[in-house]
Amino acid sequence: MSRTLSVAEYRTLLQDALSATLATDAHSLPIPMMYTPGTHRPALYADSTVVRGAVGEGKTFWVRALSNPQLRAVAAREYRMPRLERTEAVTGFGGRLDTFQPSPGELRALTGWGVQPTTLWTTVALAALGVPDLATLATWTERVDWLVRNPGATDRSLAEIEASARAADTIRLVLFDALDQLHPDHILAEHLASGMLNLAATLSRRTTRLRAKVSSARTCWTGL
């Protein structure tokens, strides 16, 4: 025989459910909880440069799905997108810092020193994609400086990575997420985001196996 819950018990259940939901973010969501509605399919296309959506609509989760091999395999199966099984993704910028992305403080310093956004994100992308000359340098200042002092390095590196991806029959994808964390000044943040789009356009024009994807909640930004 079922028992009717009291108002206090319902309140406790709702509070517990809300706490569990808030504790599980897009970076830590278990694979069995992956939700694959058809409306999210375009976010997984390598050639879809910009993924738009309001806060909380799952942009960061789909970035994680692309960068996580297990989640990518689930998406490939559920969406019947075998190309995802031949996709390798790295993060150029996201909500969680790692070795291959500058911190918000470094972004402020580099742009303050006059580094152009396209140069900055090209450096980030090449480092994330494993260019050896950049991997040996310790700071983003050194890496950007190396790229500026070696004007032919970008084309040469892209050609080498493209050839490697073609030989392995893979797509190399650079992901940019959490654009709201680029800079507290919206004008400077938009300036930085423009470099991501320029990089994505360059990869689309010059290569067939290298792509960039930008996730943005700022639908008012120019070009996004």
Per-position pLDDT tens, the chain of length 224: 456 667 666 566 555 544 444 334 444 555 454 554 555 677 788 888 887 766 655 667 777 788 888 888 888 888 888 888 899 999 999 877 666 788 888 888 999 899 999 999 999 999 999 999 998 999 999 999 999 999 899 999 999 999 999 999 999 999 998 888 888 888 888 889 999 999 999 999 999 999 999 987 654 444 44
For residue 144, give the nearest of 170, 177, 121, 175 by alpha carbon.
Answer: 121
Predicted pLDDT at 183: 81
CA distance 187 to 168: 40
Does the predicted model carry a pTM greater than 0.85?
Answer: no
Instruction: Give me the half-sphere count of Cα atoms (radius 13 Å) on the Cβ side of residue 59.
Output: 22
Q: Which residues contact 11 (CB under 8 A, 6 or more apart)?
A: none
Please state, in angstroms and rounded to a whole number, the distance separating the CA atoms of residues 206 and 156. 12
Q: Are 124 and 131 within 8 A, CB to CB?
A: no
With left for phi above 0 and alpha for psi between -120 and 50, is residue 210 left, alpha or beta? Answer: beta
Query: What is the reported pLDDT for 59?
Result: 67
